């Protein structure tokens, strides 16, 4: 019990350095094809270029009439010009043709007839007995979307690494992608350790506590592009933890734990014995007792047992690793606002505050005890205070990182 | 074709008024119980109060020793005081007891022994042969989390209407909620209309275009707490659209469409015939040709066929309605920044720009053609310019609404 670890970490890694360690051990996952309708949130494994022009025909941008612009020159409310209506542009029917002095009815998106070069909005016309009176002159291509105006054939639509959002799906449909190649989802093993853990429904006593981390992580992972392959809840037992780690067939392991009974923290020991322990202790709060290693080329994340640290470590390190495994380009989730309170921070340590960002204001939400998640519940963003800064003053402008 | 609708809407409703109409027709959905692990993104139908104290015992906030504070008064590095170590606090074992002059080893989260009132960090101690040297005085309750410090029995944890996020799941677990009562998810019928529509895989010709709206809406709805019960793609045919509307058993109908062949827009007509058409035409861009009605108490949303309008109408009106049906309290998704370009807007109309918000800057993304989704793809937020404002200048501070 009174071993060196109990007295704190000798050398804590800097917060920023952890990302470099992650970069050094992450291996990209293989691609897979998924249908467009199940691609939301997945990460593109290929550049998407369009094989088609959108639109592939000149189309009207208004409800009205397709005409020759030259037939409208000089038209006004006091000097209407007159054209003959020769038909309607109709999706699925053969393309029409107009000659000088003729017009074709057309709706927004309708295919321009041959010979027409502009469209007049119905508001500036009167139609009676197939004769159209025009009150306004047009210029060539006025109110017409030309071939390829939305998307040009051969152009890059979405780059590799893009996290697919709903509008992307609309665009992918319009360029006729029925399926897309995305990175396979990382498979995650959860190993929740702690002899003190009881399950919901049990009545905990003698210092036992309810395991919340398995549920918390389930929620966090559901919000990510990733899958849980197994969740094991294990007492502080060297052999049992080692077996759980060795028997995992996932791409990445998350081990949480744990307040033990004067025994060693087994997980870092096991990782260093059967793999390589690359990080143990980070100069950050919360989450300082974080560890990261690699066993048989699989990253193993060691998360402190307190749920607040689990949230922070997941949101900063694990989600970064999951994104990198899938080749994700970083998303911007930064917003800026004015601090409503002073936030102190220790030099030499990265402090991560939970804040409620609203109306251009950044309200820090303080947590009382170590394991309090309630500051997360009240917050919608993180405020990261880098190690070289000793806090921010009330009224200072700061950048926050919004929760997903 | 040359009917009144082709000439635009006589009376366009104001953007803000649409929300009031939605409020007037939305009926709350029934509750259902779901397991904690499947509650992410669902909306609480009940106030959650805690039936327990968390922690339910006084616990240590540090790794070290539980002691009596009075035994430490006067201790320093030059004047260490000595205590006898009488055991270790162990989850699952009976609670220990200390007398004056005694200490118990304890880890963070460990149960305080009876008689102890404070904890000393291991860093300020030396232990040898069960004798503990203490280098620092403590005050009463120092480094101790008292019963109920995280969560007090009977206190409100999460309010009715809360959209459940991952940290909430952690907190719910810690107060032993195995399941929660949430609103049932709204069931949605999608009716995609347009004789011009072809499916992905077909080679569209003669002005036909690929249906992207069914896929776009599938993505948008997957990102919401809602379910699609059916998706029908229907030509511009009065009877077929009417039958599709009448045969829906969903809670809410979304009808998109559509550029027709000089025929009327059937959906508004059908809604006004067999139900009540409450909104037809809104003073907004994009999305102006929006309609909203009610048939047999079910809201029917009529979305213009262009995908950009579908996105905007969904994100502002449909998602609001889905939230209200589930009793959701509004989430704050506003951020503020400085405009990098002037954005013009017509008085009397609400203009909704797509913007890329980053580093405190708001970059408007202009769309060329009416149906261009690419401005959505390049954006991560909306900038709403109210009808009484004629745009914003470059350098102005504006609020944006972040995409989900």
Closest approach of chain A CAs to the CA of B296, in angstroms? Answer: 30
Looking at the fold, whether A246 and A256 belong to one and the same domain comes out as: yes
Looking at the fold, whether B137 and B168 belong to one and the same domain comes out as: no
Tokens of B63: 């790794």
Question: Pick from B9, B30, B13: which is nearest to B283 by CA?
Answer: B13
Closest approach of chain A CAs to the CA of B200, in angstroms? Answer: 5
How far apart (Å, rounded) are the C-alpha atoms in residues B117 and A297?
47
Note whether A93 contacts B: Cβ–Cβ < 8 A.
yes
Count of structural domains, chain A: 4
How far apart (Å, rounded) are the C-alpha atoms in residues A193 and A215?
14
Q: Please answer yes or no on whether B105 and A374 come within 8 Å at the CB atom.
A: no
Looking at the fold, whether B290 and B229 belong to one and the same domain comes out as: yes
Q: Please answer yes or no on whether B127 and A2 come within 8 Å at the CB atom.
A: yes
A4: confidence class by pLDDT, cuts 50, 70, 90: very low
Strands A31-35 and A125-128, sheet pairing? unpaired
A330: confidence class by pLDDT, cuts 50, 70, 90: low
φ, ψ dihedrals at B332, nearest 5° = -85, 120
Final residue in a domain of this structure, among A119, A145, A171: A145
* Cis? peptide before A139, omega within 30° of 0: no
Report the residue of chain B nearest A360, measured CA to CA: B336
Q: What residues does A230 pair with on adjacent strands? A: A189
List Cβ<8 Å contacts ≥24 apart for B2-7. Answer: B2/A105, B2/A122, B2/A127, B3/B264, B5/B264, B5/B265, B5/B268, B6/A63, B6/A64, B6/A122, B7/A122, B7/A123
A374: confidence class by pLDDT, cuts 50, 70, 90: confident
Q: Please answer yes or no on whether B206 and A370 come within 8 Å at the CB atom.
A: no
Closest approach of chain A CAs to the CA of B70, in angstroms? Answer: 23
Share of chain A above pLDDT 90, in %: 75
Contacts of A165 in chain B (CB under 8 A): 219, 223, 377, 403
Q: Is the pLDDT of residue A198 over 90?
A: yes
Contacts of A402 in chain B (CB under 8 A): 335, 402
- Does some domain include residue A328? no
Q: Is the pLDDT of residue A175 over 50?
A: yes
Report the residue of chain A nearest B62, measured CA to CA: A370
Note whether A182 contacts B: Cβ–Cβ < 8 A.
no
Contacts of A127 in chain B (CB under 8 A): 2
Confidence (pLDDT) at B378 = 87
Under a CB-based contact definition with an 8 Å cutoff, are residues B126 and B35 in contact? no
The per-residue pLDDT for range A335-369, each reduced to its tens digit, is: 989 999 999 998 899 999 999 998 889 999 976 54
Mutate to test the interface with A, among B53, B121, B369 (most CBs of A within 10 A): B369
- Does some domain include residue A277? yes
Least confident of A144-153, A251-260, B380-389: A251-260
CA–CA distance from A166 to each of A119, B149, B215 (Å)? 32, 42, 8
Report the residue of chain B nearest A1, measured CA to CA: B105
Under a CB-based contact definition with an 8 Å cutoff, are residues A132 and A114 in contact? no
Note whether B127 contacts A: Cβ–Cβ < 8 A.
yes
Looking at the fold, whether B301 and B235 belong to one and the same domain comes out as: yes
- Does some domain include residue A329? no
Contacts of A211 in chain B (CB under 8 A): 173
Mutate to test the interface with A, among B166, B225, B303 (most CBs of A within 10 A): B166
Strands A350-358 and A284-285, sheet pairing? parallel
CATH classification at residue A165 = 3.90.105.10
Q: Sign of the C-alpha dihedral, residues B239, B243, B246, B252?
A: negative
CATH classification at residue B68 = 2.170.190.11
ipTM score assigned to the predicted complex:
0.91
Question: For A210, which of B173, B307, B337 is closest by C-beta distance?
Answer: B173
Confidence (pLDDT) at B206 = 87
Confidence (pLDDT) at B306 = 86
Query: Who wins on pLDDT, A196 or A100?
Result: A100
Report the residue of chain A nearest B309, measured CA to CA: A167
Looking at the fold, whether A49 and A64 belong to one and the same domain comes out as: no
B263: confidence class by pLDDT, cuts 50, 70, 90: low
Question: Counting beta carbons within 10 angstroms of the beta carbon of residue B174, is it exposed (0 to 12), middle (13 to 18) or buried (19 or more)?
Answer: buried
Q: Which of residues 272-291 of B touch A (CB under 8 A)?
A: none
The per-residue pLDDT for range B21-74, each reduced to its tens digit, is: 999 999 999 999 999 999 999 999 999 999 999 889 999 988 899 999 999 999
* Contacts of A383 by beta carbon, 8 Å cutoff, 6+ apart: A343, A352, A353, A354, A355, A362, A364, A392, A398, A400, A401
Triad B42, B46, B52: Cα angle to 5°: 105
Question: For B369, which of A7, A122, A149 is closest by C-beta distance?
Answer: A149
Mutate to test the interface with A, among B65, B136, B157, B170 (most CBs of A within 10 A): B170
- Supply the Cα-derived Rg of chain A in whole angstroms: 31
How far apart (Å, rounded) are the C-alpha atoms in residues B243 and A382?
50
Q: What is the largest CA-CA distance in chain A?
A: 100
Final residue in a domain of this structure, among B145, B175, B201: B145
CA–CA distance from A47 to each of A55, A154, A180 (Å)? 21, 11, 10
A378: confidence class by pLDDT, cuts 50, 70, 90: confident
| Inter-chain contacts counted by CB atoms under 8 A, chains A and B | 323
Confidence (pLDDT) at A373 = 77
Confidence (pLDDT) at A261 = 34
Note whether B73 contacts A: Cβ–Cβ < 8 A.
no
Confidence (pLDDT) at B207 = 86
Closest approach of chain B CAs to the CA of A278, in angstroms? Answer: 23
Question: For B145, which of A63, A369, A374 is closest by C-beta distance?
Answer: A369
Note whether B358 contacts A: Cβ–Cβ < 8 A.
yes
Question: For B201, which of A168, A178, A196 is closest by C-beta distance?
Answer: A178
Q: Is the pLDDT of residue A258 over 60?
A: no
A24: confidence class by pLDDT, cuts 50, 70, 90: very high
The per-residue pLDDT for range B296-350, each reduced to its tens digit, is: 999 999 998 889 999 999 999 999 999 999 999 967 688 989 999 999 998 899 9
Q: Please answer yes or no on whether A358 and B222 come within 8 Å at the CB atom.
A: no
Looking at the fold, whether A95 and A112 belong to one and the same domain comes out as: yes
Looking at the fold, whether B36 and B158 belong to one and the same domain comes out as: yes
Work out the angle between the directed axes of helices B266-274 and B238-246 (0-180°, nearest 10). Answer: 50
B399: confidence class by pLDDT, cuts 50, 70, 90: very high
Note whether A61 contacts B: Cβ–Cβ < 8 A.
yes
Instruction: To the nearest 10°, report the CA torsion of B273, B275, B280, B282.
Output: 180
Note whether B228 contacts A: Cβ–Cβ < 8 A.
no
Looking at the fold, whether B223 and B302 belong to one and the same domain comes out as: yes
How far apart (Å, rounded) are the C-alpha atoms in residues A57 and B206?
9
Q: Please answer yes or no on whether B195 and A369 come within 8 Å at the CB atom.
A: no
Final residue in a domain of this structure, among B298, B325, B352: B325
Question: Pick from A48, A50, A49, A45: which is nearest to A329 by CA?
Answer: A45
Looking at the fold, whether B264 and B164 belong to one and the same domain comes out as: no
Under a CB-based contact definition with an 8 Å cutoff, are residues A59 and A140 in contact? no
How far apart (Å, rounded) are the C-alpha atoms in residues A303 and A99?
75
Tokens of B383: 């900038």
Task: Specify the residue for token string 């994009």.
Answer: B286
Residue A162 sits in which domain range?
A: 32-53+154-183
Tokens of A161: 């690494």
B367: confidence class by pLDDT, cuts 50, 70, 90: low
Q: Is the pLDDT of residue A262 over 70?
A: no
Average pLDDT on A196-204 reads 90
The per-residue pLDDT for range B160-213, each reduced to its tens digit, is: 999 999 999 999 999 999 999 999 999 999 999 988 899 998 988 888 999 999
Question: Which pTM does this prediction carry?
Answer: 0.91
Q: Please answer yes or no on whether B109 and A376 come within 8 Å at the CB atom.
A: no
Q: What residues does A295 pair with on adjacent strands? A: A298
Question: Counting beta carbons within 10 angstroms of the beta carbon of residue B44, is it exposed (0 to 12), middle (13 to 18) or buried (19 or more)?
Answer: buried
Question: Counting beta carbons within 10 angstroms of the beta carbon of residue B281, is it exposed (0 to 12), middle (13 to 18) or buried (19 or more)?
Answer: middle
A2: confidence class by pLDDT, cuts 50, 70, 90: very low
Note whether B246 contacts A: Cβ–Cβ < 8 A.
no
The per-residue pLDDT for range B95-124, each reduced to its tens digit, is: 899 999 999 999 888 899 999 999 999 989
φ, ψ dihedrals at A285, nearest 5° = -150, 125
**Any idea what DSSP says for residue A314?**
I
The per-residue pLDDT for range B274-283, each reduced to its tens digit, is: 999 999 999 9
- Does some domain include residue A92? yes
* Cis? peptide before B258, omega within 30° of 0: yes
Contacts of A179 in chain B (CB under 8 A): none
Looking at the fold, whether A213 and A311 belong to one and the same domain comes out as: yes
CATH classification at residue B364 = 2.40.340.10
Q: Alpha carbon A294 to chain centroid distance?
A: 26
Contacts of B86 in chain A (CB under 8 A): none
Note whether A74 contacts B: Cβ–Cβ < 8 A.
no
Looking at the fold, whether A216 and A312 belong to one and the same domain comes out as: yes
How far apart (Å, rounded) are the C-alpha atoms in residues B21 and A378?
31
DSSP reduced 3-state for A214: helix
How far apart (Å, rounded) are the C-alpha atoms in residues B82 and A348?
33
Question: Pick from B123, B121, B126: which is nearest to B85 by CA?
Answer: B126
Under a CB-based contact definition with an 8 Å cutoff, are residues A373 and B171 in contact? yes
Looking at the fold, whether B244 and B210 belong to one and the same domain comes out as: yes
Characterise B299 by phi-psi region: left (phi > 0), alpha (psi -120 to 50), beta (else): beta
């Amino acid at each position: 019990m009174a071993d060196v670890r109990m007295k704190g970490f000798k050398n804590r890694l800097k917060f920023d350095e952890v990302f470099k360690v992650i970069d050094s051990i992450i291996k990209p996952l293989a691609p897979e094809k998924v249908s467009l309708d199940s691609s939301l949130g997945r990460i593109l494994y290929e550049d998407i270029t369009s094989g088609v022009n959108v639109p592939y025909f000149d189309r009207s941008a208004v409800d009205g009439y397709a005409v020759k612009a030259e037939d409208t020159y000089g038209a006004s409310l006091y000097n209407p010009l007159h054209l003959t209506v020769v038909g309607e542009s109709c999706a699925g029917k053969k393309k029409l043709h107009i000659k000088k002095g003729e017009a074709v009815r057309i709706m927004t998106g309708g295919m321009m007839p041959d010979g027409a070069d502009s469209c007049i909005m119905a508001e500036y016309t009167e139609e009676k007995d197939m004769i159209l009176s025009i009150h306004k002159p047009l210029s060539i291509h006025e109110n017409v979307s030309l071939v390829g105006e939305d998307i040009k054939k051969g152009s890059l639509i979405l780059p590799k690494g893009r996290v697919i959002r709903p509008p992307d799906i609309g665009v992918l449909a319009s360029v006729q992608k029925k399926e897309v190649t995305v990175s396979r989802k990382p498979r995650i093993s959860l190993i929740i350790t702690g002899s003190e853990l009881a399950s919901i429904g049990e009545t905990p006593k003698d210092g036992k506590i309810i395991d919340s981390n398995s549920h918390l992580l389930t929620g966090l992972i559901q919000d990510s592009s990733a899958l849980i392959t197994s969740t094991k809840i294990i007492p502080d037992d060297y052999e049992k933890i080692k077996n759980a780690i060795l028997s995992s067939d996932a791409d990445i392991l998350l081990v949480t734990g744990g307040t033990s009974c004067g025994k060693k923290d087994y997980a870092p020991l096991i990782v260093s014995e059967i793999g390589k322990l690359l990080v143990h202790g980070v100069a950050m709060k919360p989450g300082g007792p974080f560890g990261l290693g690699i066993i048989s080329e699989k990253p193993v994340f060691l998360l402190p047992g307190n749920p607040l640290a689990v949230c922070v470590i997941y949101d900063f390190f694990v989600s970064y690793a999951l994104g990198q495994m899938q080749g994700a380009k970083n998303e911007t989730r930064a917003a800026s606002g004015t601090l409503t309170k002073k936030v102190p921070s220790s030099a030499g340590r990265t402090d991560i505050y939970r804040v409620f960002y609203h109306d251009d204001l950044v309200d820090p939400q303080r947590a009382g005890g170590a394991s309090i998640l309630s500051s997360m519940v009240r917050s919608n963003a993180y405020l990261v205070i880098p190690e070289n800064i000793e806090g921010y003053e009330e009224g200072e402008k700061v950048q926050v990182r919004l929760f997903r």
